[in-house]
Amino acid sequence: MSQRHVCFNVNELALRAAEVVGAKICVNIAKYRDSMYNKSMLLTMNDDSRVVAKVPNPNASLPYWTTASEVVTIDFVRNILDIPVPKAHEDPVGAEYIIMEEVPGVQLEQVWPKMSIEDRFAIVRSIAGFQQVWTSVAFTRYGSLYYSKDLEDTPSSQPLYIDAHGGHTKNKNLAIGLSVAREIFDNRRAAINFNRGPWDSLEAYHRAIGQRKIVCINQLSELPKSPITLCGPGTYQPMKEKKVKALHCYLDLIKQTLAEDQTISSAHLWHDDLHVANIFVDSAEPTKVVGLIDWQSAEISPLYFHARQPQIINYQSLCLLYHTLINHQNPRIYAALQFQNTEKYLFLLLARNLLIDGEALYLARIAELEPTWNVFSGKGDSNYPFAFSDKEREELKADAEGAIQGMEAMSSIRESLGDLLPEKGIVKPDNYEKAPDALSQMKDQVISAFVTNAKKRKAWEKASPFGN
């Protein structure tokens, strides 16, 4: 709870909001439901104008940097890319915050369930159009976007980005700085000193992923618990040494796994969380998208990490239509999606999460690469760069089987508990009273299934993801 508790001066916030819109006074403050990373309020002024104020929680990311980057990201997307996003202002009020326009229209989640397939595809087509715009601008570095005045050192002669026509565009007011991607700060990583960027090359970007995770593993007193694998005696139990070994293997694999097609590895700014609550549509014309919100923690990263079909697609027909559309309209995204089906991409993707889970399957798959290494590497005369003894291979196989068992167990638990299972410590308000009892019962069932002695019981009491 402490990670979602933030102190700020509400009266000062209201005064500043009134100044921003040129009103005399704020006459009403309505609080939105808390999100995972922010507190948000709707402020109404004496002249009936309204703005939204957003205050980040301590778990949002590094203080100052997250807010600074979000404001300039909104500015860039709104004014240079011409994407419909609310105008944002910023000013300190005892806590970081952002004041922005109220988005017109309604959240897509209010109308999506009743929309026809044709109308839903109209929304998907709009999102594909936004993706095409984002693809058209390739930045010259990887990291996050800032105003130049907020950074101490910025390359003055380097273009900021390359546009759709190949033009190299400079902008003295904007620069790329350290990344505020959430995966760099979650799970107690904010206090650890490691390379947060920016990065001048694709290889440097990927090497930093492995290097920072090794630093975190060595410095964290306890490893973060996996949300997708039930870990404990009888399944798979993570160990720092195995995670570090997997990450060293990843670092040794980078040159063989990077995409050869530079059109899918170039650096892009993207909205990676376009669900129905972050998309606003016209209430009178619900197929018209009027606003995209929540640009917090946006990272300029390789296109193949951004490319994905919109989260709102929940019908096979919509999926097929989307892929057909981008194949003709945005072949670079289509190529990135094709790359995501390769084993090389899988090694790049899974490495991003090795601090939390996946090292058992990662190492097992690397061991299995030996017979097909020349095909994987694309070099017929290259030597397999890893060495595993027969005993190590047996251990890797057992670890992988235990991890799969743990994943299957957690999948069954999720299916059984449904919305009662907390996501990062949060349950829906309607489930708040019921969740503790359900979790307690599930903990008892897990212990009953896997515990055969007092030592294992103690270990499961500590390892359980269901609290005390």
The pLDDT tens digits of the residues spanning 240-256 come to 999 999 999 999 999 99
Q: Which of 62, 52, 115 is nearest to 85 (CA)?
A: 52
CA distance 264 to 49: 43
DSSP letter for 421, please: S
What are the percentages of helix, strand and coil residues in the chain, rounded to 5? 45, 15, 40
Q: Strands of 113-181 (E only): list them.
A: 138-139, 144-147, 161-162, 168-169, 174-177
The residue ranking higher by pLDDT, 253 or 91, is 253
pLDDT over 80 at 285, yes or no: yes
Q: Is the peptide bond before 198 cis (omega within 30 degrees of 0)?
A: yes
Buried b (16+ CB within 10 A) or exposed e, 284-302: eebbebbbbbbbbbbbbbb
Angle in degrees, 0-180, between the axes of helices 202-219 and 343-351, rounded to the nearest 10 = 40
Question: Which of 3-12, 107-116, 221-230, 408-417 holds the top average pLDDT?
Answer: 107-116
Looking at residue 1, its pLDDT comes to 47
Q: How far apart are CA 18 and CA 1, in angstroms?
A: 31
Q: Which residue is it, tokens 């490319």?
A: 307
Work out the average pLDDT over 295-304: 97
Give the residue from 184, 181, 180 showing the smallest Cα distance to 213.
Answer: 184
Task: Note the CATH number of domain 1-61+86-102.
Answer: 3.30.200
pLDDT (0 to 100) of residue 385: 93
Residues 357-367, mean pLDDT to the nearest whole number: 97
For the chain, residues classed under CATH 3.30.200 are: 1-61+86-102
pTM for the structure as a whole: 0.92
C-alpha 297: how far from chain center: 8
* Farthest CA pair distance, the chain: 77
**In this structure, are strands 50-56 and 88-90 parallel, antiparallel, or unpaired?**
unpaired
Per-residue CA distances from 257 to 138, 247, 268, 344 (Å): 21, 14, 20, 5
159 HSE (CA, 13 A, CB side): 11
